Amino acid sequence: MPDFEYAPAPQSRDADVRASYGLFVDGEFADPVDGGSLETLNPATEEVLAKVALATAPDVDRAVRAARVAFERVWGPMPGAERAKYLFRIARILQERAREFAVLETLDNGKPIRESRDVDVPLAAAHFFYHAGWADKLEHAGLPSTRPLGVAGQVIPWNFPLLMLAWKIAPALATGNTVVLKPAETTPLTALLFAEVCQQADLPPGVVNILPGAGATGAALVGHPRVDKVAFTGSTEVGRQIARTVAGTRKKLTLELGGKAANIVFDDAPIDQAVEGVVNGIFFNQGHVCCAGSRLLVQESIAAEFDERLRRRVGQLRVGDPMDKNTDVGAVNSAEQLARIRELSDAADAEGAVRWTEPCQLPDRGFWFAPTVFTDVAPAHRIAREEVFGPVLAVLTFRTPEEAVARANNTPYGLSAGVWTEKGSRILWMADRLQAGVVWANTFNKFDPASPFGGYRESGYGREGGRHGLAAYVKEPSL
C-alpha cells in the first residue's frame, strides 16, 4: 500500500450520456434495420451506461453506399486544402470538448481519468491536426500516388477507443477517402460522440459513418464488396480471419495486432528511470496496450536490486475508482478480459513462476485485477509467450547482450521493444537486431502523430502515423 493516502479527488461526471444511441449513417443518427441493440457497461461499477444500436449486414450496406456516394461526389473530388479545413475543425472541436470526451472514455472503458484527460484526448486531437497539415501537401509526401482508394472499412479495439478512431479516420480523410468505422462492442460511446463532432464540423454527409456492433458487424464490413480498404486493430486471431477474407480481392489491408514486448534493462541503466519506464510500460491503461512491455528482461547482475526497487514502486500504485484523479490503475474493460488475465496468471502459478502482488483493497463491484509481477519465469511459460493484455509483468534475466536479443526475439510477435542503457552504441546495436517494429530507447510507450507505428510477423503489417501511414490510403501507380 502507499506510504500515505491522498484524499479522494473525483472528476465530476459531467458527460451527457444518453439513454440510447443509434447508428450514424449519411450524416444522421438512425435506427438499425432490425431494431437490435446492445448494452454498454461501466466496467468499474457494472452499471448499464446506455443502450446502443446493433448494426447488421443491411446497415453495413447502407453505410457503405452512403460513403461511396460521398466519395464520388464530394470528398474525393474536393481539393486537399478544403479537406484540411474540416480536419482542423474536428481537431479544434475535440480540444474544446476534451473534458466531455475524457469523462465519457473513462466511464465506458474503465481507464483512469488522468490518462483519458492527459493522453487519449490530446493525442487524438493531435492526429487530426497533423493529418490536416498533410491534406494539401500529399504530392510532397513521397507516396506512390495521391489518388485515394475510395471507401475505407475500419474496425477498432476497446483499449483506446477514441485514439484508435483518430489513428484510423484522420489519415483516411486527409487522403480523400470516406469511412465506415465499427467501434468495439464494449466501448462505442466516444465514437458516437465523435459522430456529433462530425455534425458540428459540418462534415459532408456520408464522409464518416459509425456502426456500433459485435463481431458479425465487423465481418460484414470487412467482407463488403464495395469497401476498398480495410484497417483493423485488435487480436491476432481476428486479424488472421480478416486476412483470409481479404485475400484474393483488390482490397488494401493494414493490420495492427497483438504483441509481447520485451523491456530490456542493462546493468548500466539509470535504475530509477528504468523502473518508471517498466511500470509505465506494463501498468499504463491496466496493461490493455498491444505494445505493452509485458516481458521484463533484466541483466542478471542487477536483477535483485531492480526487483526490490520495482516492487517498492509498484506498491505505490493506486488501484480504484477510475474517476478519481489520484488513480493509477483502473478497471479491467470486461468480465471476459478479466477471465483471460486470471487464466494466464493461474497458468503461471501452475508452471512454477513466483507471483507477487501488493495487497490492496479492490472494489466490490466491477472488473478488477491488482498489478502483479511474476519472477522465476522461464521462456517456455505461457506468461512469457502469450499476450495477457492486463496488468501482469513477467520477469526474466539475461547475462549478455546476445542473450538479451535472443530472448527478446523468442516470440511470434514483432510490435515493440524497449532498451535501457547509458551507451548509445549499445542502443543502436540492439535496435538493429531486435525484431520489432518500434524500439524505444530509455523510454517506453511514447507516441507522436508524425512517427509511424506498427509491427510485423504476428503483430500485423502496415503502419499508422507519419508519412508511412498515409501510404496505406492511396492507390498504387498501376491501379
* 53, 153 Cβ separation under 8 angstroms: no
- Quote the cell numbers at residue 7: 484524499
Give the other-Cβ count within 10 Å of 8's Cβ: 12
pLDDT value of residue 479 = 55
Rounded to whole angstroms, the Cα distance separating 184 from 25 reads 17
Q: How many CA atoms lie within 13 A of 227 on its CB side?
A: 28
* 360, 349 Cβ separation under 8 angstroms: no
Pick the closest to residue 242 from 215, 212, 210, 260 (CA basis).
215
pLDDT value of residue 453 = 94
3-state secondary structure of 233: strand
pLDDT value of residue 473 = 96
Beta strand residue intervals within 320-433, DSSP E: 354-357, 372-375, 392-398, 416-420
Phi, psi angles (nearest 5°) of residue 206: 90, -15
List active site positions.
256, 290
**Which DSSP state fits 358?**
-
Give the other-Cβ count within 10 Å of 235's Cβ: 15
Rounded to whole angstroms, the Cα distance separating 134 from 183 reads 25
pLDDT digits (tens, 9 = 90+) for 59-90: 999 999 999 999 999 999 999 999 999 999 99
- Quote the cell numbers at residue 427: 542502443
pLDDT value of residue 358 = 87
Give me Rg for the CA atoms of the chain. Answer: 22
Rounded to whole angstroms, the Cα distance separating 32 from 231 reads 23
pLDDT value of residue 12 = 78
Residue 357: which H helix or E strand, with range? Answer: strand 354-357
- Quote the cell numbers at residue 106: 473513462
- Quote the cell numbers at residue 324: 478519481
Residues of the chain with pLDDT under 70: 1-4, 479
Rounded to whole angstroms, the Cα distance separating 40 from 48 reads 6
pLDDT value of residue 4 = 63
pLDDT value of residue 65 = 98
